[in-house]
Amino acid sequence: AQTVTQSQPEMSVQEAETVTLSCTYDTSESDYYLFWYKQPPSRQMILVIRQEAYKQQNATENRFSVNFQKAAKSFSLKISDSQLGDAAMYFCAYRSGKETSGSRLTFGEGTQLTVNP
């Protein structure tokens, strides 16, 4: 079974600075997807970024980028130029690439990010 581990329950960053959130996963598969979701206090989950395992290039979405290390099974999220609106709980998630896996995502425990003005 796949597992996703976020070892940092809480992180903080100063506004305009850069912060990196860690995520590691365990799988025996070679084909899979990795995600970062954000859940602000409003409770609504928001998909931040997605990475396909077969792609060597790290995904980037504006100020958000990932460092995908497939051999190390590591998938960290870097937030550049942090803004107050980035404050949220961030979840790392894994999905198998197998069709038979249905649509099941395995989520990490989450990292609560605080942005200090």
Partner 1 sequence: DAGVIQSPRHEVTEMGQEVTLRCKPISGHNSLFWYRQTMMRGLELLIYFNNNVPIDDSGMPEDRFSAKMPNASFSTLKIQPSEPRDSAVYFCASSFRGIWPQHFGDGTRLSIL
Q: Does 44 bind partner 1 (CB under 8 A)?
A: yes
Instruction: Report the alpha-carbon distance of residue 106 to residue 4 in Å, rounded.
Output: 7
Whole-number minimum distance, CB 116 to partner 1, in Å?
Answer: 25
Q: Does 56 bind partner 1 (CB under 8 A)?
A: no
Comparing CA positions, the residue from 39, 41, 51, 32 lying closest to residue 106 is 32
Which of 32, 68, 79, 95 is the binder for partner 1 (CB under 8 A)? 95
Question: Stretches 24-32, 52-60, 72-80, 100-108: which one binds partner 1 (CB under 8 A)?
Answer: 100-108
